[in-house]
Amino acid sequence: MQVWPGRAFPLGASYDGAGTNFAVFSEAADRIELCLLHDDGSETAVELRETDAFVRHAYLPGVMPGQRYGYRVHGPYDPARGLRCNSAKLLLDPYARAMSGRIDWDEAVYGYRFGAPQTRNDRDSAPHTMASVVVNPYFDWGDDRPPRTEYHETVLYEAHVKGLTMLHPGLPDELRGTYAALAHPAVIEHLTELGVTALELMPVHQFVDDHRLADAGLSNYWGYNTIGFFAPHNTYASWGDRGEQVLEFKSAVRALHRAGIEVVLDVVYNHTAEGNHLGPTLSFKGLDNPSYYRLADDPRYYMDTTGTGNSLLMRSPHVLQMIMDSLRYWVEEMHVDGFRFDLAATLARQFHEVDRLSSFFDLVQQDPVVSRVKLIAEPWDLGEGGYQVGNFPPLWTEWNGKYRDTVRDLWRGEPRALAEFASRLTGSSDLYQDDGRRPLASVNFVTCHDGFTLRDLVSYNEKHNEANGEGNRDGESHNRSWNCGVEGETDDPDVLALRQRQMRNFVATLMLSQGVPMLGHGDEFGRTQGGNNNAYCQDNEVAWVPWADPGGPPEPFLEFTRAMVRLRREHPVFRRRRFFHGRPVQGTHDELTDIAWFTPEGEEMTQRDWQAAQARSMSVFLNGNAISEPGPHGERILDDSFLLMFNASDRPREFVVPADHGRQWEAVVDTVLPDGLPADGDRKVYGGDRITLAGRSLMVLQRPA
């Protein structure tokens, strides 16, 4: 076999049409062998003799796409110094563009779960672990263009590749649960009819199952257990894992783009699947443990702000380089449109405390590729001071956990929720305005993958996670949920009607709020997980979306959700780019303020009204003449005006329509109705009218511009 010196850049395996360049970083290694794996179980070892800045490299002519490979690192095994080299382990390439196979924990548990080497010449580990794969980078993207949907027009839809598509009756069996299913016309049609503009995919970076879950007959369904930051997860491919997963993912992105739907990836750069000091040695540990991980004062152990056993070392230039290389790769080569960063506060822990100006954010800010896509932070981790909602740099948007909590509190009837609810409804200026950000910094959500589904939020007071095998100890215990009087499933028509109304209240509130709305997959169908609020290990019907019959009549709640997304899309007053000011609109003859708050009696809210412990009802006027952005030709945008009437108390409440804010109105939303949409004959409302809202309901009145 010919071996040429090759290049130290780029890292990973790079195929150029004639052969493949291999490059891998390790400062800890004495020497590194590249092992080419053959289908008969044998391997060919090639020592990487060329070194530049601790990067070992070689070019092998004739090595083609589909070739499986790994590395064996010869060097010190000394956990007391944080070193865990072990040539008995076949290691994955941190920069592998694809990975093949799976870990056989039954055979590999002692060789992989524990770090100590058995024998230096033991190469039996290869059949029991995964392998890196050389990938063909060439793909016909055709006329693919990123949709580049602006935040104020964005509707996010959080989804799991397998969970979204596994039960879809309109898909061929062989496509269900795969990237190809995302590209199927039946799935894309549903997303476009719903009004989704961006699909936020739960982790698709290559991940592995935990040994503990495998022993229990479960799996890491959610995928927050990454081992390959450049490789699409192989089991989501419908037709192979020797690079086919890359082609299939690219094809899905291309199809979604043609439908105008962006692809945002949920990425986990805060930790890896190698766990703590008892975890497996799969890649980073064996290559250069102290360069990749945040070690404790005793280097045998790991600092853990993620709850997974380890945290990546965010002040290491090699970790930062890997993350930035990964982000650029997914934008430039895989054409994705943005990222949602799991436990993003960990990325800010350059030393111990959270620092929003850490090196990672500096790198993102100046990067000409990454800085131009959607960047969404999950603004917390499990470490000290880790709850950082509102504290990320101006380039970033954030999952607004305070929005979720406040909206849940209001509709379940908590006291003193009204004032904070007003802030969340109008874009959370208390969190984002001081540092120059706008309402669009807030990603608003009521439910997500972590916690109850929307239906379970109104059906359960307590979590029911017994199926996870942890004695119901896992998952959040304080859910801010309300079961409407009965725990779990019921046939009581009054309870069922109240639950449906509460679900309409949540979806309507979400779409009427300033910021960027996010729906959870299947919530539009009323998906239930049976009260399981931590379905991370449930790769089954518990967590999969139960699709409605595509040939049957539309379900009322699905139609209502579509109608609320459409109302938001058609009226810019619900998706302003700037905060309200509470002042009359400049440059017009309109003497009304851009926003006004009223008691149910039609009087403007006072400080005493806001602070009343039992106040759970109010109206808010949104002035359609106050849209502050100019149109495409510099003209002022005018919209209809709206009066939003909220009654979160459990009793009917009479509301007065303010007479001086409009003479004639039309009711366009009424969540007390089974479909939430008033009939044409019931829509006329006049200034000064008195309207009775049922307990726990909202109504939207519209006044033409």
Residue 386: CB atoms within 10 Å: 19
Q: How many CA atoms, within 13 angstroms, populate the side-chain half-sphere of residue 492?
A: 13
Let me know: does 134 contact 13? Beta carbons within 8 Å.
Answer: yes
Picking from 532, 523, 440, 529, the residue whose alpha carbon sits closest to that of residue 479 is 532
Picking from 406, 426, 428, 427, the residue whose alpha carbon sits closest to that of residue 418 is 406
Structure tokens that stand for 640 in this block: 């209809």
d(CA 283, CA 303): 18
d(CA 525, CA 631): 36
Q: State yes or no: is 104 an active-site residue.
A: no
Q: State yes or no: is 378 an active-site residue.
A: yes
Q: How many helices (H) and strands (E) does the chain have?
A: 16, 29
Structure tokens that stand for 409 in this block: 């509190």
Structure tokens that stand for 106 in this block: 């039954």
Q: Is 91 exposed, middle or buried (0-12, 13-18, 19+ CB in 10 A)?
A: buried
Structure tokens that stand for 617 in this block: 């009802």
d(CA 148, CA 146): 5
Structure tokens that stand for 477 in this block: 């215990």
Let me know: does 162 contact 202? Beta carbons within 8 Å.
Answer: no
Structure tokens that stand for 348 in this block: 């800010």
d(CA 441, CA 151): 9
Let me know: does 160 contact 202? Beta carbons within 8 Å.
Answer: yes
Picking from 701, 700, 649, 697, the residue whose alpha carbon sits closest to that of residue 504 is 697
Q: Which strands sit side by side in the sheet containing 12-15, from one edge to the other?
A: 12-15, 19-25, 55-61, 50-52
Contacts of 696 (CB under 8 A, 6+ apart): 411, 413, 498, 501, 502, 505, 647, 648, 649, 650
The H or E element containing residue 107 is helix 105-108
Contacts of 506 (CB under 8 A, 6+ apart): 407, 411, 446, 447, 454, 457, 458
Question: What is the torsion angle, in degrees rounded to the nearest 10, for the CA atoms of residue 257, residue 512, residue 479 and residue 156?
Answer: 10
How large is the greatest C-alpha to C-alpha distance in the chain, in angstroms? 89
> 84: which DSSP letter?
E
Is the preceding omega at residue 678 within 30 degrees of 0, hence cis? no
Cα-Cα-Cα-Cα dihedral sign, residues 669, 483, 612, 476: negative
CA distance between the termini of the chain: 76
Q: Which of 378, 420, 456, 539 is an active site residue?
A: 378
Residue 462: CB atoms within 10 Å: 14
Angle at the Cα of 498 (from 496 to 504), degrees rounded to 5?
Answer: 105
Picking from 235, 220, 237, the residue whose alpha carbon sits closest to that of residue 271 is 220
d(CA 370, CA 375): 8
Strands (E), 281-358: 338-341
The H or E element containing residue 563 is helix 556-570
The H or E element containing residue 692 is strand 690-693
Structure tokens that stand for 550 in this block: 């595509």
Strand, coil or helix: what is 301? Answer: coil
Q: Which of 342, 523, 524, 594 is an active site residue?
A: 342
The residues annotated with a catalytic role in the active site are 342, 378
